Structure 1
Amino acid sequence: MMTTSNYAGIPDKFAQLETAKVVLIPVPYDGTSTWGKGADKGPDAFLKASENMELYDIETDTEVYEQGVFLADPVTENSSPEAMVKAVHDVTKDFIKRNKFVTLFGGEHSISIGSIRAFNECFDNLTVLHIDAHADLRESYEGTKCNHACAVHEASQTTNLIQIGIRSMDAIEKTFMDEEKTFFAHDMVNDEYWMDKVIDLMTGNVFITFDLDAFDPSILPATGTPEPGGLFWYETLDFLKKVFEEKNVVGFDIVELCPNKNDKSSDFLAAKLYYKMLSYKFMDEAADEAYDNTYDVDYKSGTTNNSKFEDDED
């Protein structure tokens, strides 16, 4: 059960589906995780932290919530991993068809099988940018293809998959991995050009799936499978900002927050990460609108999400 009716406690006028540019879908699912349990509590902890976050972003000089963020009903299907993936796919695709910028917060990484499938059906020539400690490329695990260990296997077969931050994998995953599009953490730490190399491999439309264990556990310990040697805050923001500036990010999900009652910093980092990603997506539009409000100039932002369904009727 979610704890708030509006994302981050924003005023009702910015939280209505009809006018909001952004949709946030919580997916409190933890059906296939194998070590640290609790990712099903992640969305609730994220939303609580978001309510206590300042909504002015210093770096972009914007208040992105004014673009409108609609908090959708959580996807609670948990009868089977396959049923959960289908439910996530269906609700994600429905909101994409409404021409919304669709975001999801999990839940374990298996939810991304459904979200990636929906975005791949709706956007041409899609790049999936997978930011994670783990390769998640197993074809099947523990009797299902909808396991968290299989989160991007389907994407490896059907999209332009680029993986960054990887530092843990099984040998079998090498058979599915494109090493030219895989950036291992131990290489990234010595490569000052890794960000540019990643962006050069991308197509125009990009979906980001962000597993929070990509971060070093010294700054985000509250995740199911923490791995040493991860990303840090400002390098991650620098990279994400470049991606949003240079490519058309069509949506994203964030997964694998396993809240710890004794440590709220991880929840807050996840909340800030989500808000920073929205701020990067809409910073040009927000700046245009601020200029309009100041000088009463009537012009329209040119940003589009290039959805195949822009003109579809529900």
Structure 2
Amino acid sequence: MRQSKNYAGIPDEFSQMEKAAVVLIPVPFDGTSTWGKGADKGPEAFLEASENMEVYDIETGTEVYRHGIYLAPPIEADEPEDLVDEVHDQVKDFIKRNKFVTLIGGEHSLSIGSIRAFNECFDDLTVLHIDAHADLRKTYDGTPYSHACAVHEASQTTNLVQVGIRSMDAIEKTYMDTERVFFAQEMATDEFWMDKVIDQLSDNVFITFDLDALDPSILPSTGTPEPGGLFWYETLDFLRQVFEEKNVVGFDIVELCPNPADRSSDFLAAKLYYKMLSYKFREDTPDGDADAGAGNAKPRPSGLASKYDEDDDY
């Protein structure tokens, strides 16, 4: 993929790895998707859209990029197992460096590696899985490293909470904890679904956000769009509450399949990423002041405590 110099075209002083609080890892991989192809072009389209985005967030009154966002080299691999291993290794390395690690895909199989790394680094981890699909298959097309298996491992090793599900195979019911699954058709008539989700979360939360969780009327450019999804402001309302009430330790956004004839999905993905960062860091910007410069930025957001905090090797 063509690599942008800096995320969102931000000045060099805010993009250096040593000083940045945030790391953004592009993962342009589309090796196991079975219908709409093109997720490997997602990170490039996301970065291009980000370069054309205003970096002042009206809601929080902040310019979160001033905390520093390092755009890491893209992770690329030929085989899904190699991709998962490489994502795991790089994410874990950046966590040990006390960075707030984020990823942009690429297909959802990358989350197997990112979740594995966060689970090894943070105690009592909840994986908040926002998606149209359950992604709970143990194997698919002969591999456990498929996009259809994205959260199977998480269902066995973490507190997995699933939101927005509206498509699944019968076999996935055998791996599903229905007490922690919020189906789209039930959410549509339950005004308290956000509170109920948050009640299921532990303190440390990793978010994996598949863009097909959103309704295709607002984001059509994804590999497997499903009717009946989330809309923009309810999504932001929910995410804002999660970031306010829990310690979000990182997140990934996956399954953008760009359409050159319609760039609105690319821009939505870019805006969603920036909003999530703005929610995470809003309390670390003094008085919500957008003019707070790099000298006021903390090395990482408060509450990002991993098992490696007291390890002198990092």
TM-score for both structures, normalised by structure 2:
0.96
Secondary structure of the residue aligned to 2:285 is helix
**Which letter does structure 2 place at the counterpart of 1:15?**
S
CA contact (8 A) 2:20 2:299 kept: no
Query: How far did 1:302 drift?
Result: 7.9
Secondary structure of the residue aligned to 1:115 is helix
Query: How far did 1:4 drift?
Result: 1.2
Following the alignment from structure 1 to structure 2, what is the Cα–Cα distance between the partners of residues 25 and 301?
17
Following the alignment from structure 2 to structure 1, what is the Cα–Cα distance between the partners of residues 72 and 25?
5
**Which letter does structure 1 place at the counterpart of 2:194?**
M
**Which letter does structure 2 place at the counterpart of 1:286?**
T
Query: How far did 1:273 drift?
Result: 0.1
1:37 paired to 2:37: yes
Query: How far did 1:2 drift?
Result: 2.9
Match in the other structure for 2:47: 47
**Which letter does structure 2 place at the counterpart of 1:163?**
Q
**Which letter does structure 2 place at the counterpart of 1:247?**
K
Aligned-residue identity in percent = 72
Q: Residues 144-198 of structure 1: CA distance to partner in whole angstroms, max 9, x if unpaired?
A: 0000000000000000000000000000000000000000000000000000000
Query: How far did 1:121 drift?
Result: 0.2
Match in the other structure for 1:203: 202
Query: How far did 1:300 drift?
Result: 11
Following the alignment from structure 2 to structure 1, what is the Cα–Cα distance between the partners of residues 301 and 207?
22
**Structure 2 residue runs without a partner (length 5+):** none
CA contact (8 A) 2:60 2:288 kept: no
1:271 paired to 2:275: no
**Which letter does structure 2 place at the counterpart of 1:214?**
A
Match in the other structure for 2:180: 181
Match in the other structure for 2:244: 245
Following the alignment from structure 1 to structure 2, what is the Cα–Cα distance between the partners of residues 311 and 107?
33
**Which letter does structure 1 place at the counterpart of 2:274?**
Y
**Which letter does structure 1 place at the counterpart of 2:75?**
V
Following the alignment from structure 2 to structure 1, what is the Cα–Cα distance between the partners of residues 290 and 53?
25
1:20 paired to 2:25: no
CA contact (8 A) 1:49 1:268 kept: yes
Following the alignment from structure 1 to structure 2, what is the Cα–Cα distance between the partners of residues 9 and 47?
9
CA contact (8 A) 2:41 2:257 kept: yes
Matches within 5 A, 1:88-127: 88-127=87-126
Following the alignment from structure 1 to structure 2, what is the Cα–Cα distance between the partners of residues 144 and 198?
31
Match in the other structure for 1:311: 310
CA contact (8 A) 1:110 1:151 kept: yes
CA contact (8 A) 2:14 2:69 kept: yes
Following the alignment from structure 1 to structure 2, what is the Cα–Cα distance between the partners of residues 172 and 270?
31
Q: Residues 84-143 of structure 1: CA distance to partner in whole angstroms, max 9, x if unpaired?
A: 100000000000000000000000000000000000000000000000000000000001
Following the alignment from structure 2 to structure 1, what is the Cα–Cα distance between the partners of residues 174 and 299?
48
Q: Residues 182-232 of structure 1: CA distance to partner in whole angstroms, max 9, x if unpaired?
A: 000000000000000000010000000000000000000000000000000
CA contact (8 A) 1:155 1:161 kept: yes
CA contact (8 A) 1:43 1:107 kept: yes
Q: Residues 252-287 of structure 1: CA distance to partner in whole angstroms, max 9, x if unpaired?
A: 000000000100000000000000000000001113
Matches within 5 A, 1:249-260: 249-260=248-259
Following the alignment from structure 2 to structure 1, what is the Cα–Cα distance between the partners of residues 250 and 169?
29
Query: How far did 1:288 drift?
Result: 4.5
Following the alignment from structure 1 to structure 2, what is the Cα–Cα distance between the partners of residues 283 and 200?
23
Secondary structure of the residue aligned to 2:45 is helix
**CA distance change for structure 1 residues 196 and 68 in 2, over 3 Å: closer, same or farther?**
same
Match in the other structure for 1:71: 71
Match in the other structure for 2:279: 280
Following the alignment from structure 2 to structure 1, what is the Cα–Cα distance between the partners of residues 181 and 228?
16
Match in the other structure for 1:156: 155
Structure 1 runs of 4+ aligned residues shifted over 4 Å read 291-294, 299-302
Match in the other structure for 2:170: 171
Query: How far did 1:290 drift?
Result: 3.4
Match in the other structure for 2:11: 11
Query: How far did 1:73 drift?
Result: 0.4
Match in the other structure for 2:86: 87
Following the alignment from structure 1 to structure 2, what is the Cα–Cα distance between the partners of residues 43 and 185?
27
Match in the other structure for 1:193: 192
What is the aligned length? 311
CA contact (8 A) 1:105 1:255 kept: yes
Query: How far did 1:304 drift?
Result: 2.7
